[in-house]
Structures are given as structure tokens and as C-alpha cells.
């Protein structure tokens, strides 16, 4: 069967997922400004990019930016939330096309990430990079960052439960341990990719995940 990430997944134990931040409706002009801001934030860092530069790159005035977004914080929220939405849609397509076994679905997450970073992630995970600059839970964008990683752990937990105990709704210590191992492999690979420590970090993580899943095949 195919799996969609839009379906509900059991919440993994641990810290509760933060409430999502306020979003705004983007006009065509705001969308152009956000596209410029998104590129700059990812390439240069959030703190390094000011509203003046975003306005200049987008060909709009600072007043227009503040009229549309209200604050730089809201631009950051829209940047991260938009990137998160695109990743989830990308992953959803890959999981829907994956072979039917739960283990293959877990491996498909790594394959999807490998393709995603090749196309969209030369500087590594946008959420990890953003967290290096935004670690205050009071910042409205923090909920987007933490929310994506909580969602990824929920996905791995759901898959791990199907791998270790098919058909059982309740979790188990083995499933939770497997989910966290897969999450560590996945997130560690994204960091290694962003730092350029060695080539094809996500591909190597996928092979390590295959070895971890082998006893359940």
C-alpha cells in the first residue's frame, strides 16, 4: 500500500509539538518579495539579511514589505513554513510511489532527502541552519523549525511501529528506539551534507538505515 504523509501519525513521546505560528495571505507582490527573501536567507543566513537588502532584491520599498508582512519575523516565518510545505509535498509523492513494505517506506524517506538536498539543499537543512540562529522558543519561527522535526520523528515512529509490530496501534520500546535511530541517521546526514564533510552523506545514511532495518525484513 502507499503511504501519504498527509495522513495522521501517532505522536512520538517527548516534547510536545509547538503551536503553529500565524500565517498571512500572500499577494503576488508579497510572493515576489518572499522569493527574494527565501533565497537570501538560505544563502547568507537569516541574521545577515536585512529588510533593506530584501527590498532591494525584490524591487520594492521597505514600506511595502512592512505593509505586506508587518515585520521581518513574519518574513522568516513565511520562508521557513513555505520550505517545510514544499518538503512535505515532495516527500509525500516519494512515499506514495515507494514499494509497499514499511521498511521500504522508511528507506524512501532517505532517498527523498538525498534528491531534495541535491536540488534544494546545497547548504544543508534549512531548518537546522535556521535553528542555529533562532533558538528562542518565543520567536514565531521557532515553532516552524521545531514543528518540522517533531513531525519527522512522528513519521519515523509510525513507520517503525509498522516495521516492528505490523497491525498494532500501540507503540513499543523497540519501535521507539528504531524511530530515534532512523531520525538520528537522517538528521546527522543532513548536517554532514551541509558541512561538506564527505560526499553523499544522505546516501550513506540510507545504507546504514537499511542495515538497521534488516533484522525486521
Say which DSSP state 101 is in: S
Tell me the C-alpha distance between 163 and 182, whole Å.
Answer: 12
Q: Residues 181, 121: contact at Cβ < 8 Å?
A: no
Tell me the C-alpha distance between 160 and 166, whole Å.
Answer: 9
Concatenated DSSP letters for 86-139?
HHHHHHHHHHHHS-SSHHHHHHHHHHHHHHHHHHH-TT--HHHHHHHH---TTS
Tell me the C-alpha distance between 122 and 97, whole Å.
Answer: 25
Predicted confidence (pLDDT) at residue 12 exceeds the cutoff of 90: no
What angle, 0 to 180 degrees and rounded to 10, lies between the N-to-C axes of helices 51-58 and 72-97?
60
Tens-digit pLDDT profile for residues 95-134: 999 999 999 999 999 999 999 999 998 999 999 999 999 9
Tell me the C-alpha distance between 144 and 137, whole Å.
Answer: 10
Tens-digit pLDDT profile for residues 156-206: 999 999 998 765 555 688 999 999 999 999 999 999 999 999 999 999 999
Nearest to 27, CA basis, from 65, 79, 81: 65
Q: Residues 37, 75: contact at Cβ < 8 Å?
A: yes
In this structure, what C-alpha cell is assigned to residue 34? 518572499
Q: Residues 47, 176: contact at Cβ < 8 Å?
A: no
Predicted confidence (pLDDT) at residue 1 exceeds the cutoff of 60: no
Tell me the C-alpha distance between 149 and 43, whole Å.
Answer: 21
Higher pLDDT, 9 or 41: 41
Predicted confidence (pLDDT) at residue 86 exceeds the cutoff of 50: yes
Say which DSSP state 3 is in: -
Q: What sign for the dihedral angle of Cα 88, 94, 100, 104?
A: negative
Q: Residues 157, 17: contact at Cβ < 8 Å?
A: no
Residues 6+ apart with CB under 8 A from 153: 12, 14, 179, 180, 183
Tens-digit pLDDT profile for residues 13-40: 455 666 788 898 898 989 999 999 999 9
Angle at 45 between CA 109 and CA 88, to 5 degrees: 25
Amino acid at each position: 500500500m502507499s503511504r501519504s504523509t498527509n495522513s495522521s501519525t501517532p505522536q512520538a513521546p517527548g516534547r510536545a509539538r509547538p503551536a503553529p505560528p500565524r500565517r498571512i495571505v500572500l499577494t503576488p507582490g508579497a510572493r515576489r518579495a518572499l522569493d527574494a527573501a527565501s533565497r537570501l536567507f538560505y544563502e547568507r543566513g537569516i541574521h545577515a539579511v536585512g529588510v533593506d537588502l530584501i527590498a532591494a532584491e525584490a524591487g520594492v520599498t521597505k514600506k511595502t514589505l512592512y505593509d505586506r508582512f508587518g515585520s521581518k519575523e513574519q518574513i522568516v516565518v513565511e520562508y521557513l513554513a513555505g520550505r517545510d510545505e514544499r518538503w512535505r509535498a515532495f516527500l509525500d509523492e516519494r512515499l506514495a510511489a515507494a514499494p509497499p513494505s514499511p521498511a521500504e517506506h522508511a528507506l524512501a524517506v532517505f532517498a527523498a532527502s538525498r534528491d531534495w538536498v541535491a536540488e534544494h539543499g546545497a547548504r544543508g537543512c534549512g531548518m537546522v541552519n535556521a535553528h542555529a540562529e533562532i533558538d528562542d522558543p518565543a520567536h514565531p519561527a521557532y515553532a516552524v523549525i521545531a514543528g518540522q522535526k517533531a513531525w519527522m520523528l512522528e513519521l519515523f515512529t509510525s513507520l517503525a511501529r509498522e516495521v516492528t509490530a505490523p497491525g498494532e496501534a500501540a507503540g513499543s520500546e523497540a519501535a521507539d528506539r528504531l524511530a530515534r535511530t532512523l531520525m538520528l541517521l537522517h538528521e546527522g546526514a543532513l548536517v554532514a551534507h551541509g558541512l561538506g564533510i564527505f560526499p553523499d552523506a544522505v546516501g550513506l545514511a540510507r545504507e546504514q538505515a537499511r542495515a538497521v532495518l534488516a533484522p525486521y525484513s
